[in-house]
Amino acid sequence: MLRQPESLALIMQGGVKKGDVLSVARLAGIMGPKRTPDLIPLCHPRMLTSVKVDLSCDPARNAVDVIATCKLRGQTGVEMEALTAVTVAALTVYDMCKAVDRGMTVTDVRLLHKAGGKSGEWGSATTSHTGA
């Protein structure tokens, strides 16, 4: 969540000095999951076939929501890669906006849905998004 409504307005208008926050954060979120095994001990490399990162601005909550979807062909889950994508995208928003709003928080990072792997399908009881 952003502390100052002016910060979200800057993001939406493309007025942040470091550039287009949403585009750069989306790119960072796509790149992040590929580094998951380097960041998290005992997390094995996965051959991802797709990484999709969506960022949306919510003026009512003064927040940028980040949702990531990771896919692969295989019998294992990719929830750690998806969580890494969301976290890296959210940290990129923070990095690009910290000069105008150091009070930002990254909150509610969680798994919303998982299909496949040994444990089968799982879904969160809540439908709210992950926020930065």
- CA-CA distance, 107 to 77, in Å (whole number)? 23
Half-sphere exposure for 60 (CA within 13 Å, toward CB):
0
Answer for the pair 100, 87: CB distance below 8 angstroms, yes or no: no
Active-site residue list? 95
Contact (Cβ atoms closer than 8 angstroms) between residue 68 and residue 51: yes
